[in-house]
Amino acid sequence: MISALVHCFRLARVGFVLAREGALSLTDVAPLPPAMRLMISLGRTVERRGARESGSRLAAAMTRLGPSYVKFGQFLATRPDVVGVRAAADLESLQDRLPPFPREEAVRTIEESFDVPIERLFSDFGPALAAASIAQVHRARIGEGEGALTVAVKVLRPGVRERFARDLASMRFAAAMAERLFPSMRRLRPIEVVETLARSVAMEMDLRLEAAALSELGENTRDDVDFRVPQVKWDLTARDVMTSEWVDGTPLSDMAALVAAGHDRVVLARTVIQSFLRQALRDGFFHADMHPGNLFVDPEGRLVAVDCGIMGRLGHKERRFLAEILLGFITRNYRRVAEVHFEAGYVPRHHSIADFAQAIRAIGEPIHDRRADEISMAKLLTLLFEITALFDMNTRTELVMLQKTMVVVEGVARSLDPRLDMWSTADPVVRQWIERNLGPVGRLEEAGRGALSIAGFAGHLPSILNRGERIVEQLEIAGERGFLLAPESVADIGRAEARRARWGNLALWAIAAILAAMWLGG
């Protein structure tokens, strides 16, 4: 009871800040129940002057709410299926930049992590160079003289775990209430969205896991001549501290510096796209935060990616899905694109493949009347996911993350080369993966994997048959005697349902009352 009221007050503050910054004006109230429409109407009366003219209302609200909501906003920017296209576009401007915490606190965290004075770890430890909601980065040196090594030291922000735990608890409460009170929202899986965020944040707050991601990405790309990542210094890495090789390079965001350094922007644009597609298709493990601030060009002309706090994974089925979709649009084989959706189990079988292919044709045909450099692969995937919603395709978190990362990657590539032909750039990577995995060799490997699965199943078959026999016997007994519930169980179920309904209504009215009081007091 007390925790529910605490969550209600916290969420009321969130609602007030959203209302104050004009974010509620992005809400489509038509499908909402009357109680929610009334609350939103009350909330919009406290908008500050000029808020509706702002192009980043949600971003401004999330920034005011603090680090947890900045991270939540960045996560929701990757989920237009949940918040809508307008809100996702608003959140894309959200910058995860905070004032740095004092150098002394970073030193204290490092010394507590390794239980030795910082002078024994680094010969020099500079001030913070960049600070975000979870951690900040310092430049440091190991050793003295010509053999000294410059490194980047990432240090977790003090108290960040407690702050995120508190805010995530309120987000979980809000998601559970939304699913319970508004069944139509269950298709968007708000509880799963919050849990995905919680897992992502938990991994980001253990810098050993980010170091592992950096190491894995480095192993996957070690033979790529045009892409690399910094090496991890494992002896100087712990839960709250990560040390890696310092990158001496030109930021991809500094066009003038790239030109002055003599780098070919057209070649770099192709490298950005092809590196991302190789990671996604070949490795199934990709950097999911490839904005210009995380990308550099080293003196040898190689693309260098840093900050592996957010990564994406694709299984073999998802990689095949992506490759065949891209190839299907390239070759205008819309029937095959539709079949891939059904084969992957993403679209329910009661829908017609022919109708789905027709809807996909409506996306694909217009792009073939335009120049190649005018076609956006990321926008095409966005339109595709909008169409799939009409055919009851459930949200696939990994695919949405892939699509949003592609939006960012394509934007970076086109900033380098505005006339970039996305399709000819992607074609070699896509075709190579398809020839390798869907050609004769790939078919043999798939058959081998299937044979191993069948062999494993056959080994468990006797125990499965025994369990099946017991289940059938129990069902026969239940069919003769019926399924019985003890009176105490029936009473407990009734009381539990009554409590959920009572607290759900109380939570909604508490939030409405707080918003009304703020409106009358303002």
CA separation for the pair 5, 507 (Å, rounded)? 7
Q: Based on the number of CB atoms within 10 Å of its own CB, is 334 exposed (0-12), middle (13-18) or buried (19 or more)?
A: buried
| Closest residue by Cα to residue 90 from 99, 105, 80 | 80
CA separation for the pair 490, 72 (Å, rounded)? 40
CA separation for the pair 263, 252 (Å, rounded)? 10
Q: Decide if 409 contacts 268 (C-beta within 8 A).
A: no
CA separation for the pair 360, 349 (Å, rounded)? 17
Helix (H, G, I), strand (E, B) or coil at 290: coil
The β-bridge partners of 244 are 152, 232
Dihedral angle over CA of 178, 401, 293, 153, nearest 10: 80
Q: Which residues contact 394 (CB under 8 A, 6 or more apart)?
A: 187, 189, 346
Active-site positions read: 289
| Closest residue by Cα to residue 217 from 287, 277, 316 | 287
